[in-house]
């Protein structure tokens, strides 16, 4: 479609025509046989996308914040100790959610904005206390920092903590092997790399997490998020039986099932590799344009988004010029540096052409705000990666 800007923010993202068509279908009853089949299939496909064949999937109407709320509400009882591996705004949020349910929260902070806590600091904290639960933000959307989830999960297992991974900006984009890596709960939201419009909280809980849930001694302190209410519903739909607790987001579930099918058709390893390649191209272009990034090194840089600092003398007005040139980007989010940087999402169905078009729009925007650079240098750097 002409005169249409690319939506290149860290969610909501661009969606395939097939997903959008599913959103536009006439709504069915939530207990209609065809919807029961679709919901059951979507739950089964969630296990394959999360790479957790023994996990219990939950797909509930709500945002990514609800997805964070669910493991906290169902696994934490007042006085339980929780460890938060903090890399930014959404790690702060997880700490606040855990505290709301009465957890005694300890945070392991990064040594600087744009960095991740060293593994030895996390291990020292785990050694120092008997934690029921540890949360890890796989990709903090506020900073573009990605964590070493595999190594952190191994530490959590070693010291007996349930490992909860906030994969809102990572699931189906960043490499994440939930069962193989020993992650007890992974969660995301529909509008990120999963490729479905906003409105679904998606959670997969492994056997250890479900066992801890069943053994809790006190009632769950959140009515809507209570797995006691939702577990029979998810089990019923997988068994292709009608059930009811709260009305599911019917059209979103139809769209989710389409998107999950497309993801699995691509293949998870192939999908992870595609995201890495596009990310490397984008970051190479940003570096060639002389812009620094919030993550302090490639080792802690997310795959699903890029977070560049504005060049000296450039501010948020750049984003308006980029939009006029054809791409919608996101401003900063993390309060200490909010006005100093911006964010570009490249996940889901984003392809090579989208990356190059967005970089062309960024170069146009930089030119219009008076930033001096060699025209085409960013595009050339990206192409060098993409044509390898």
pLDDT digits 0-9 by tens, 122-149:
999 999 889 999 999 999 999 999 999 9
pLDDT digits 0-9 by tens, 7-40:
999 999 999 999 999 999 999 999 999 999 999 9
Tell whether pTM > 0.85.
yes
Band of the pLDDT at 2, cuts 50, 70, 90? low
Is pLDDT above 60 for 1? no
Q: Averaged over 60-75, what is the pLDDT?
A: 98
pLDDT digits 0-9 by tens, 253-280:
999 999 999 999 999 999 999 999 999 9
The correct CATH number of 6-11+268-386 out of 3.90.1150.10, 3.10.450.50, 3.40.50.720, 1.10.40.50 is 3.90.1150.10
Kindly list the domain boundaries of the chain, sorted by start residue. 6-11+268-386, 17-266
pLDDT digits 0-9 by tens, 305-350:
999 999 999 999 999 999 999 999 999 999 999 999 999 999 999 9
Count of alpha carbons within 13 angstroms of residue 88, beta-carbon side: 28
Q: Averaged over 92-120, what is the pLDDT?
A: 98
CATH of domain 17-266: 3.40.640.10
pLDDT digits 0-9 by tens, 156-179:
999 999 999 999 999 999 999 999
Q: Averaged over 73-93, what is the pLDDT?
A: 97
């Amino acid at each position: 479609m002409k005169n249409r800007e690319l939506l290149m923010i860290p969610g909501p993202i661009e969606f395939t025509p097939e997903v959008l068509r599913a959103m536009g279908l006439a709504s069915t009853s939530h207990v209609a046989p065809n919807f029961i089949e679709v919901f059951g299939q979507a739950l089964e496909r969630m296990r394959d996308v999360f790479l957790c064949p023994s996990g219990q999937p939950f797909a509930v109407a709500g945002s990514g914040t609800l997805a964070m709320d669910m493991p906290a509400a169902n696994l934490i009882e007042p006085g339980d100790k929780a460890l938060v591996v903090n890399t930014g705004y959404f790690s702060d949020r997880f700490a606040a959610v855990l505290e709301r349910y009465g957890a005694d929260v300890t945070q392991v902070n990064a040594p600087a904005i744009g960095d991740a806590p060293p593994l030895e600091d996390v291990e020292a904290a785990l050694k120092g206390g008997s934690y029921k639960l540890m949360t890890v933000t796989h990709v903090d959307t506020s900073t573009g920092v990605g964590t070493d989830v595999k190594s952190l999960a191994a530490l959590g297992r070693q010291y007996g903590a349930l490992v909860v991974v906030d994969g809102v900006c990572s699931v189906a984009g960043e490499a994440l092997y939930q069962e193989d890596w020993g992650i007890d709960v992974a969660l995301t939201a529909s509008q990120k790399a999963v490729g479905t419009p906003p409105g679904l909280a998606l959670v997969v809980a492994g056997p250890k997490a479900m066992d801890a849930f069943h053994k809790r001694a006190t009632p769950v302190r959140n009515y809507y998020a209570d797995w006691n209410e939702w577990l029979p519903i998810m089990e019923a739909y997988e068994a292709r039986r009608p059930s009811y607790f709260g009305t599911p987001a019917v059209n979103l579930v139809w769209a989710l099932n389409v998107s999950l099918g497309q993801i699995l058709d691509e293949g998870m390893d192939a999908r992870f590799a595609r995201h890495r390649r596009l990310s490397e191209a984008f970051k190479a272009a940003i570096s060639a344009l002389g812009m620094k990034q919030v993550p302090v090194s490639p080792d802690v840089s997310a795959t699903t988004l890029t977070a560049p600092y504005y060049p000296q003398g450039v501010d948020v007005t750049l984003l308006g010029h980029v939009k006029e040139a054809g791409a919608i980007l996101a401003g900063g989010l993390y309060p200490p540096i909010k006005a100093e940087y911006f964010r570009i999402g490249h996940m889901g169905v984003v392809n090579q052409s989208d990356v190059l078009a967005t970089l062309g729009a960024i170069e146009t925007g930089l030119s219009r705000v008076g930033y001096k650079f060699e025209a085409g240098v960013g595009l050339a750097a990206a192409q060098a990666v993409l044509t390898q």
